[in-house]
Chains A and B, each alone.
Chain A
């Protein structure tokens, strides 16, 4: 069963806009990770945030974690067409468990 659930399921924006994706989970975690997948290929790791961290940045990515609400958000600033992909959150309760992902479409 899915531990994490992303919201929205799909997001369509224009280049230059910001994209925000949310993830909710059910149990305690050690870390929460975000991954990107381009069109049926392997997943690429974006960022890992530990349960005692509240915010983390990596380039144009900003991740927040609220363990009291069991939720996380991924913000991509100044989106580019190359950001078009599916984005997954993953929690590591005992194994790494993925949500169903958010499909992001960035139009030129």
Chain B
């Protein structure tokens, strides 16, 4: 089986712009979770989608949003980028959710200038 893929792998944006990141889960996996990783805050949960529905959301401002499509692929969007949004964004997939093994993608490294 192919692993979790994330595109793009690297991204440079400027403050005020918006960005869309994509995640393709392992075939058959219906749960996709997103995390933000920074040196200061570590791994922070953003949101989890299951069968196109957002099941959980972390403590992030409304500028962070996401969605999941019928083929389980997921996108997350960050609008009005701030310098502090510079981070590694990781997505993870599993069959049913966080109570089982999560399979992570390689991440998208976002730099906001």
**A interface residues, Cβ below 8 angstroms from B:** 1-2, 30-31, 33, 35, 40-45, 48, 88, 90, 92, 94-101
Contact = CB atoms under 8 A, between A and B. Distances in A.
Interface SS of B by simple majority: strand
Interface of B: 4, 33, 35, 42-43, 45, 48, 56, 58-59, 88, 90, 92, 98-107, 109
Contacts of A100: 42-43
B100 to A, nearest CB: 7
A4 to B, nearest CB: 10
B25 to A, nearest CB: 13
Contact of A43 (B48, B56, B100, B104): B104
A42 B102 contact: no
B99 A30 contact: yes
B106 A41 contact: yes
Contacts of A96: 33, 45, 92, 98, 102
Contact of A95 (B90, B98, B100, B109): B98
Given A88-B43, A95-B45, A40 B88 contact: yes
A92 B105 CA distance: 19
